[in-house]
Chains A and B, each alone.
Chain A
Amino acid sequence: GAGVSQSPSNKVTEKGKDVELRCDPISGHTALYWYRQRLGQGLEFLIYFQGNSAPDKSGLPSDRFSAERTGESVSTLTIQRTQQEDSAVYLCASSLVSGLRENGYTFGSGTRLTVV
């Protein structure tokens, strides 16, 4: 597609339920990031995928959070047993990394998650 697509755009869930957020990167983009942004705060790095390399999971806040990506396609971020502090906008970004030439990242519009 023309841009990074995230779904759903909004999600309201009950505390304790599991949620799955989806990111469709720009076709051919090898790098994919997930970020979390709580209301009024900055972007918090969660996880980074680069091609077939092992993902950098160092930003995941707890073992309730996990993410998967198959090859260079869709990624899903799963939050198990959601808590109210998980309420935030979850942003996905992708980029084409080609050799030494660094390209900018394109962000999706995010998924606004509200845990009630």
Chain B
Amino acid sequence: DAKTTQPPSMDCAEGRAANLPCNHSTISGNEYVYWYRQIHSQGPQYIIHGLKNNETNEMASLIITEDRKSSTLILPHATLRDTAVYYCIVRANDMRFGAGTRLTVKP
């Protein structure tokens, strides 16, 4: 039970913003939202995390709705190397991954 819902796949044009949604309607007040990605044949890579404020780092931005029931990961200028499976995780004491969203960036 991963506690999150993501679309199974998305496409994005190279150079465009990729907006990956995640629903986490049962999130508790002290649970953070984490995003990871896994590029083929590699271990998952941490992207960003947040509690209730929007966050930005060198990789991406994270927008969390005011009620915290959903969030969006934004890759502002997607490149071909951003093609990966993106996982949204609500952190409790363990970190259980769902199926994620397979993002394909196309030239």
Q: Which residues of A contact B (CB under 8 A)?
A: 33, 35, 42-43, 45, 48, 50, 56, 58-59, 91, 93, 100, 102, 104-110
Contact = CB atoms under 8 A, between A and B. Distances in A.
Contacts of A59: 94, 96
Interface of B: 30, 32, 34, 36, 38, 42-46, 49, 51, 85, 87, 91, 93-100
Given A102-B91, A107-B45, A43 B32 contact: no
B93 A107 contact: no
Contact of B100 (A35, A42, A48, A102): A42
A90 to B, nearest CB: 11
Given A35-B97, A42-B100, A102-B32, A108 B91 contact: no
A45 B100 contact: no
Given A91-B44, A104-B49, A106-B46, A50 B97 contact: no
Nearest to B98: A42
Contacts of A35: 97
A104 B34 contact: yes
